[in-house]
Amino acid sequence: MTTHAPLVQLTNVSKTFIDGEQQHSVLDKISLTLDQKIGQTVALMGASGSGKSTLLNVIAGFEKHDSNQDPVTAPKPPKSTLTLLGQNTINWQDKHWSLFRQQSLGVIFQQFNLLTPLNVKDNIAFPLRLNHQNWNSWCEHLSHSLGLSSLLERHVNSLSGGQQQRVAIARALAHKPPLILADEPTGNLDQAASLEVMQLLCTLAGEHNTAILMVTHSIECANFMQQRWHIKEGKIHE
């Protein structure tokens, strides 16, 4: 009998920032599991500075958790693990993290982070090119569903905020990643556009059981997720 490995599993993961002689604990022995098999979707909520974005950055490999810190700055790291796709990341080097982000992760930022020299189609296709893939029927479906079909040749800096966020969602989903990390994905949109974007994101992600971990301050946006987790004083409360 085969066992099912969680998509994301953190066990006793902490994150401390060093500022001179000061240490600031942001994450405190966090344990959580995200399961792609059921397309688990979670809203991560909490006050500003509570560690929400730091947690996303640790999962994405943009920040190292304490057990992966240099021994000079973390001489006695806690016994902790970050497991992605069934693999312990403790010995991952930059190339491993790059491959994970390239093949298995979609990230949606509050500030969109689109490639402004490129048009809409090339922005959406960017993760495909990294994976040596071409524009395909799934990209056509994403473009149609997100109302971008008539905008593919437009430069992204000529689009409205709502349109740019739709491009960001299409780009994040283009390579069919098992995991989406979204940091305030509707933070720059009005309420009507936010709800529309959330509906589209959840519908499209659900077509491939894509798991979503989304940081948000919006109760309305959180209601689109299956679960809500709250982070307070560096700890997760489900």
Residue 52 within any structural domain of the chain: yes
pLDDT per residue as tens digits for the range 121-177: 999 999 999 999 999 999 999 999 999 999 999 999 999 999 999 999 999 999 999
Say yes or no to pLDDT of 186 above 50. Answer: yes
CB atoms within 10 A of CB 147: 13
Q: How far apart are CA 231 and CA 48, in angstroms?
A: 10
State phi, psi for 18 to the nearest 5 degrees: -100, 125
pLDDT per residue as tens digits for the range 95-135: 999 999 999 999 998 888 999 989 999 999 999 999 999 99
Task: Report how far Cα 23 is from the mean position of its chain's Cα atoms.
Answer: 27
Residue 183 within any structural domain of the chain: yes
* Token code pair at residue 64: 């190292």
Residue 85 within any structural domain of the chain: no
* Token code pair at residue 157: 């800096």
Say yes or no to pLDDT of 75 above 60. Answer: no
Checking DSSP bridges between strand 81-84 and strand 87-88, what pairing results, if any?
Answer: antiparallel
Q: Are 143 and 135 in contact (CB under 8 A)?
A: no
Nearest to 160 by CA among 117, 189, 187, 192: 189
Residue 87 within any structural domain of the chain: no
Mean pLDDT of the chain: 90
State phi, psi for 211 to the nearest 5 degrees: -80, 145
- If one counts the domains in the chain, the total is 1
Residue 122 within any structural domain of the chain: yes
Residue 16 within any structural domain of the chain: no
Residue 82 within any structural domain of the chain: no
CATH code at 208? 3.40.50.300
Q: Which residues pair with 231 in a beta bridge?
A: 236
* Token code pair at residue 210: 């894509």
CB atoms within 10 A of CB 30: 23
Q: Which domain holds residue 185?
A: 35-61+93-237
What's the pTM? 0.91
Residue 221 within any structural domain of the chain: yes
pLDDT per residue as tens digits for the range 38-56: 789 999 999 988 999 999 9
